Amino acid sequence: MVTKLTLLCLPYSGASAMVYSRWRPKMPQWLHLQPVELPGRGARFGEPLHTDMRVLAMQLAKELRPALKAPYALFGHSLGALLACEMAHALRALGCPEPVALFASGTAAPTMRADYDRGFAEPKSDAELIDQLRTLNGTSEEVLANQELMSLTLPILRADFQLCGKFQPVQRPLLSCPVHVLGGKADRATTEQLIGWSKETRGSFSVDMLAGGHFFIHEHEAKVLKVIKDQLDVHHRRHAMVATA
């Protein structure tokens, strides 16, 4: 019997967790990919949006805990990386084992965000949000011009930007799990801001820099998935050996 390792995937600002659904058929048999939907979008569209990262992380941790079995890992891109880190702490606080790995993709470390999130704590206007989407180069002009679609997307994006803008690091015991960081060479997160993730763990740490801008996880999907699979294969084999011992 194959020992399954669960990979919880947290979406970036404005997105549904379904942005990760296309990864499922590209994963090995032993890796169960589980996109985590956030309140206010996708299948949870009718639920209120959050602007407090730790409150959201604890809500998600409580929802996932009953069915979550070790081993598991966490992956998040941009907003999702911060949320994945907070969920690791929240799950530990609820008595769960730590993840076997935390993947933080495409954003500055929690302690390196003073300049990165400047101006994001207050709600942005529609025009400011659309300008920000243009800057990130992840949304076509056709989509930006679609008023009906934007009327659904912008409130989510506004709340998500506040999630990041209002976030403040706190003193607490470090994680013990390995932290693996992915960054885009043309993204705005600097090398220093990415390396800052090493301060979140007592475990091992690595950084992989890939070509592309903020949405390198889509531009270079195959390379991103290879990094994830290569890192998790070590943990999968370790747990498989323990299970058959």
- Residues identified as active-site: 78
List the one residue out of 143, 131, 11 whose CA is nearest residue 74: 11
Token pair of 20, please? 């990760």
Complete DSSP assignment for 53-67: HHHHHHHHHHHHGGG
Q: Are strands 72-77 and 101-105 parallel, antiparallel or unpaired?
A: parallel
Residue 31 φ then ψ, to 5°: -110, 115
Helix ranges, the chain (H)? 53-64, 79-93, 126-136, 141-144, 147-165, 191-195, 216-219, 221-244
- 3 neighbors 239 (Cβ within 8 angstroms): yes
